[in-house]
Amino acid sequence: MSAPKALTARGAILSGCKRLLSARHYSSSTPLLDRHLSVAIVGSGPSGMYTAKYLQSALANPKLASLPSTHSIDVIERLPTPFGLVRSGVAPDHPEVKSVEKDFREVFERNIGDSSSSSRQLGVAFRGNVEVGRDISLVELRRLYDIVVLAYGCDSDRRLGIPGENLQGVVSAREFVGWYNGHPRDVDLTEPLSELLSNPAEKSVSVIGQGNVALDCARVLAKGGEGLRSTDISAHSLPVLGGGVGKVTVLGRRGHVQGAFTIKELRELTKLSKEGHGVSFHVREDELDLGMTDSSRQELEGRLGRPKGRINKLLRAAAAVAHDPKAAKEVHLRFLLNPVEFVPDTADPTFVGSIICERTRLGGDPGKQSAVATGEYETIPTHLALTSIGYKGKALPGMGDIFNESEGVIVNQNGQIYGADESTGAGLYCSGWIKRGPSGIIGTNISDAKETVASILRDISTDVAPPHIGREQYNHGREGLDAILKERETQVVDWPGYIKIDLAEKSASNLRHEDQPREKMTRVEDMLAALRAL
């Protein structure tokens, strides 16, 4: 997953207009002091939650004299459940990563009451099952709030753009991950996947990509439902994955030194056999040699080369190890193979049957090596192909020029969005993947959110407020949002509502294993029904 630059050439031009726009933005002389400040954050993933956390503590800091005296922060989430990819992306066998939820829960629970709709109260409120662009528009939000922070992540896919990509059995890793993690958007994959993976021990799956998401998918496929019973993997995936897929091949067009995966995820693959999952790990010495160009050697010696050096060592050791003859399943990590075509299955040409890959070699300077075609081809039979070449952000309806379509990010500078029509309402900011692109771990969103919060504070701690603050015609913040959603009969899930869903998911009667943390509800209707029943 490469990180597209958030600030493009057009962004740089826009940033040149920053002074002008700021001056326009703060043309009112309304003092902020003694005013209530309403903030909406769109998205409750790590970036939305860290933004809420750091903004809340900054606004509550009595030492910052020129800040508003009261504030409310509303986290608006399209699902009834919070925390974004922590719930629906992080692998089920990585429970330690999900413990960050505790920190996020405190953001809501530190509140002085969420059940009241009074926007005069301090605190952070959850407004789940509310999708911006469906239940309320961005324009409406900007009229309701003083500050709107867009933290809605990246929810579409980069495409390979090769023939056969639309065949059945070519699925994005994003959807596959969402499916095994119980994202309501992806539950309907159960039927096609059961067909594609019927009798999984005899099936071959290819995962195209060289990042941690690709390695997560390979591990989940190899462990199978049986190896993941004690995790929070969704119940519908257990019978489909069964005892694990017979052969998983992870492939990428560059070499092992350029791979985007980290050593933790790689080590987990190499240890599957030792841990009793019956999976042998295969990597080819000739492909490691081929990738070890002079430029790759220099990359390993460079400032950022140390972690790559450890990966090189681990892969070399794995290539030299004899494979466990008792292991019935195999994971292969292949390098310098560029998929050029998905070939239809001979029995049913609506399905994928194999992938043609072109052997590549590396060319270019250290840090800039690219895959160069060689004209040699290899065909890899496959029953299911997962494309894991990166998530991509989408614009919200009506966003216009502030969205960079080719890079899938919002044009911004340090989280501040310039160029939106300032006369229509709130100051606009962004945070997380939709701000910087789909790269980085959960922790990366901390500094990212702090940067956005710093931009907000810099703006609101000037002694004049944005022009709309305090204007009577605006029905401010939470009160206004709740009134609109009530009128539209949107079934909003607030924090106490989510806690009911959470308790139902953790209830022992719903669990299959004593160590299983929760059984996720996977349909929005079921979540809302559970709320009404409790």
The answer to whether 242 and 198 are in contact (CB under 8 A) is no
Taking alpha carbons only, the member of 196, 175, 166 closest to residue 383 is 196
State which residue, 311 or 357, has the beta carbon closest to ligand FAD: 311
Calpha distance 404→168 (Å, rounded): 30
Tokens of 493: 């899930």
Stretch 25-54 residues interacting with ligand FAD (CB under 6 A)? 42-48
Q: How many residues bind ligand FAD (CB under 6 A)?
A: 36
* Phi, psi (rounded to 5 degrees) for 138: -65, -40
Among 79, 248, 384, 409, binds ligand FAD (CB under 6 A): 79
Cα–Cα distances in Å, from 20 out to 9, 13, 26, 112, 418? 18, 12, 10, 39, 10
Give the shortest CB-70-to-ligand FAD separation in angstroms. Answer: 25
**How far does Cα 261 stand from its chain's mean position?**
16
- Which residue in the set 97, 292, 340, 528 belongs to the binding site for ligand FAD (CB under 6 A)? 97
d(C-alpha 109, C-alpha 75), whole Å: 13
Kindly state whether residue 441 participates in binding ligand FAD, applying the rule CB under 6 A.
yes
Looking at the DSSP bridge assignments, the partners of residue 384 are: 205
Residue 181's Cβ-count burial label (10 Å; 0-12, 13-18, 19+) is: buried
153 binds ligand FAD (CB under 6 A): yes
Stretch that binds ligand FAD, among 187-195, 355-363, 408-416, 439-447 (CB under 6 A): 439-447
387 phi and psi angles, rounded to 5 deg: -95, 120
- Helix (H) or strand (E) segment spanning residue 13: helix 9-16
343 C-beta neighbours (distance < 10 Å), count: 18
Shortest gap between Cβ of 131 and ligand FAD (angstroms)? 4
Distances (CA, A) of 291 to 257, 285, 287: 7, 10, 6
- From CA 507, how far away is CA 519, in angstroms rounded? 8
- Judged by beta carbon, residue 79 or residue 318, the one nearer ligand FAD is 79
**Which among 151-159, 224-232, 267-275, 493-501 is the span making contact with ligand FAD, rule CB under 6 A?**
151-159
Question: Closest residue to ligand FAD, Cβ-based?
Answer: 45
**Least distance between ligand FAD and beta carbon 448 (Å):** 8
DSSP character at residue 442: T
Q: Does 442 bind ligand FAD (CB under 6 A)?
A: yes
In angstroms, the CA 233 to CA 520 distance is 8
420 binds ligand FAD (CB under 6 A): no
Q: 67 vs 90, which CB is nearer to ligand FAD? A: 90
> How many other β-carbons are positioned within 10 Å of the β-carbon of residue 391?
24
What is the C-alpha to C-alpha distance for residues 248 and 224, in angstroms, rounded to an integer? 12
**Contact letters for ligand FAD, residues 191-230 (x by CB under 6 A):** ----------------------x--x--------------
Q: Please select the residue that binds ligand FAD; options are 32, 58, 90, 144, rule is CB under 6 A.
A: 90
Q: Which stretch binds ligand FAD (CB under 6 A): 118-126, 130-138, 339-347, 366-374?
A: 130-138
Question: Considering only residues 89, 123, 169, 339, which one is a binding residue for ligand FAD as defined by CB under 6 A?
Answer: 89
Quick one: 43 or 477, whose CB is closer to ligand FAD?
43
**Stretch of 126-134, 303-311, 325-333, 350-358 lying at the interface with ligand FAD (CB under 6 A):** 126-134
Instruction: Using CB under 6 A, pick the residue from 95, 133, 305, 381 that binds ligand FAD.
Output: 133
Q: Contacts with ligand FAD in 172-191 (CB under 6 A)? A: 177
Environment class of 22 (CB within 10 Å of its CB; exposed 0-12, middle 13-18, buried 19+): middle
Radius of gyration of the chain (CA): 25
What DSSP element (H or E) covers 411?
Answer: none
CA distance 177 to 183: 9
Our finding on whether 84 is near ligand FAD (CB under 6 A) is yes
Q: How far is the CB of 217 from ligand FAD (least distance, A)?
A: 8
Helix then strand then coil, in percent of the chain rounded to 5, is 40, 20, 45
In contact, 237 and 180? CB cutoff 8 Å: yes
Identity (one letter) of the amino acid at 2?
A: S
Under the binding rule (CB under 6 A), the answer on residue 389 touching ligand FAD is no
Cβ proximity to ligand FAD, 50 vs 281, nearer residue: 50
Judged by CB under 6 A, the residue of 56, 71, 77, 339 near ligand FAD is 77
Q: 42 vs 426, which CB is nearer to ligand FAD?
A: 42
In this complex, which beta carbon is closest to ligand FAD, that of residue 180 or of residue 351?
Answer: 180
Residue with Cβ nearer ligand FAD (44 or 72): 44
CB of 269 to ligand FAD, least distance (A): 14
Q: According to the binding rule CB under 6 A, does residue 78 interact with ligand FAD?
A: yes
Q: Please select the residue that binds ligand FAD; options are 26, 145, 152, 474, rule is CB under 6 A.
A: 152
Q: Which residues lie near ligand FAD (CB under 6 A)?
A: 42-48, 76-79, 84-85, 89-90, 94, 97, 131-133, 151-153, 155, 177, 213, 216, 391, 396, 432-433, 440-442, 444-445
